[in-house]
Amino acid sequence: MHKLLLLSSLAIVAVAGSPAFAIEGGLPRMNASQLRAERIDVCADRKYQCLQNAVGRLFSQRGQCVIRYDQCVNR
């Protein structure tokens, strides 16, 4: 009896942890605008780090940071 209960519990945990269950189970997911905002935040952090590394360098190198940011945001 205990083995059956344990196996049942493990099966429930395995199903509950799967991505399909998250989609069908109605667990909260981020909508498109939240995903885009998160991506823009990551891209902005990368741009900031790039600009920090490009301080005192040629203008074209700083320009590359902006170009990479635009490419990152528009993926």
pLDDT digits (tens, 9 = 90+) for 10-54: 444 444 445 554 555 555 677 999 999 999 999 999 999 999 988
Predicted local confidence at residue 13, as pLDDT: 43
Predicted local confidence at residue 26, as pLDDT: 58
DSSP secondary structure letters along 9-74: HHHHHHHHTSHHHHHHTT-----HHHHHHHHHHHHHHHHHHHHHHTTTS-HHHHHHHHHHHHHHHT
Q: How many CB atoms lie within 10 A of CB 60?
A: 9
Q: How many CB atoms lie within 10 A of CB 54?
A: 16
Predicted local confidence at residue 19, as pLDDT: 52
Quick check: pTM over 0.75? no
